[in-house]
């Protein structure tokens, strides 16, 4: 019956069979690939990112990890996100259980247009990922969100509180911080931000990307680890990242946004433009 159920996915099946197979198909894990499409990532970098995910599901090591589990199958969906109200479920929940189904998922993704939008709401991307997991037609004991970003949360709810909500509900959040080219300024501490404010749950880990030329191998290594459920090594931190002394401020992105806004207003006033209201800290409430 299971083989018949797999064959009927995406096809018209007899009503009697649909009723008989109303129980969700069990998989080893449900995986949300939550991919950053904000404007801070160039078109060329977006292309590298998309081609990396397309190639990953044709990679023999990734396919071997998928088929080596207890049930030998996983469910995957691909989500693109940017600001608070910008989330696109590019590829719906898809069952992958052999090389052919993995390649089919890869091909679907390759034919979809890459979206690009503004702002960065990691928190809303996690919230949307949680909703997708709850709406999934599959059933699993492991629920994982794999999220990439090249910046801090600067839009939407507090990221650490949404992280805690997902972890409380049994979801593991793994991170792919895109640190490439950000070796100076606040972005240099993005991996520490991911460690303290974004990732969480059983076996959570992250794999910082330091060079876009390494995106494919980095993504493949990360997918193999999280799909196979191997015991994770400690969080990977590049030696060049700043040494830590205190926990990262999880409102860092929102505060940087406020600083830039005030700077722009001050510059406008300084150019003999009409005086404008300048916000104070109490006028700019941080996310709840």
For residue range 231-250, list pLDDT tens digits in order.
554 444 444 445 555 788 89
Q: Residue 68 has what DSSP assignment? A: T
Cα angle vertex 273, ends 269, 274, to 5°?
90
For residue range 168-203, list pLDDT tens digits in order.
999 999 999 998 765 555 556 899 999 999 999 999
Which residues does the chain have with pLDDT short of 50? 1, 10-20, 233-241
Can you name the residues that pair with 209 across neighbouring β-strands?
A: 178
Confidence (pLDDT) at 268 = 64
Cα angle vertex 25, ends 23, 30, to 5°?
130
Confidence (pLDDT) at 22 = 67
Confidence (pLDDT) at 272 = 54
Query: Which residue segments constitute the domains of the chain, with CATH numbers given?
Result: 23-228 (3.40.50.410), 252-283 (no CATH)
**How far is residue 212's CA from residue 55's CA, in Å, rounded to a whole number?**
15
Extract the tokens encoding 79: 């989500």
Chain centroid to CA 262? 30
Choose among 271, 194, 174: nearest CA to 238: 194
**How far is residue 141's CA from residue 114's CA, in Å, rounded to a whole number?**
31
Confidence (pLDDT) at 118 = 82
Q: Are 51 and 85 in contact (CB under 8 A)?
A: no
Catalogue the E-assigned strands of 108-182: 138-139, 143-149, 171-177
Confidence (pLDDT) at 102 = 98
**How far is residue 248's CA from residue 266's CA, in Å, rounded to a whole number?**
28
The sign of the torsion formed by the CA atoms of 84, 80, 98, 13 equals positive
Query: Helix, strand, or coil here: 80?
Result: strand
| Whether the model pTM is above 0.75 | yes
**How far is residue 227's CA from residue 30's CA, in Å, rounded to a whole number?**
9
């Amino acid at each position: 019956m299971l083989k018949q159920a797999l064959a009927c996915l995406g096809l018209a099946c007899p009503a009697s069979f649909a009723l008989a197979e109303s129980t969700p198909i069990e998989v080893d894990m449900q995986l949300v690939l939550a991919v950053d499409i904000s404007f801070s990532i160039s078109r060329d970098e977006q292309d590298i990112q998309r081609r990396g995910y397309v190639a990953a599901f044709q990679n023999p090591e990734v396919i071997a990890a998928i088929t080596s589990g207890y049930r030998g199958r996983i469910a995957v969906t691909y989500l693109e996100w940017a600001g608070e109200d910008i989330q696109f479920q590019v590829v719906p929940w898809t069952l992958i259980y052999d090389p052919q189904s993995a390649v089919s998922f890869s091909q679907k993704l390759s034919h979809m247009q890459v979206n690009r939008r503004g702002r960065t709401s990691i928190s809303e991307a996690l919230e949307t990922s949680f909703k997708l997991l709850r709406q999934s037609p599959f059933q699993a004991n492991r629920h994982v969100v794999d999220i990439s970003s090249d910046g801090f949360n600067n839009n939407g709810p507090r990221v650490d509180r949404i992280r805690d909500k997902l972890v409380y509900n049994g979801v593991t959040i793994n991170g792919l911080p895109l640190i490439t080219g950000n070796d100076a300024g606040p972005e240099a501490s993005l991996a520490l931000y991911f460690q303290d404010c974004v990732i969480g749950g059983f076996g959570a880990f992250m794999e910082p990307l330091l060079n876009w030329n390494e995106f494919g191998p980095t993504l493949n290594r990360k997918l193999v680890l999280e799909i196979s459920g191997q015991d994770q090594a400690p969080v990977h931190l590049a030696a060049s990242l700043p040494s830590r002394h205190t926990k990262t401020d999880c409102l860092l992105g929102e505060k940087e946004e406020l600083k830039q806004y005030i700077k722009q207003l001050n510059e406008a006033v300084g150019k003999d433009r009409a005086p404008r209201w300048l916000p104070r800290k109490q006028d700019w409430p941080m996310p709840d």
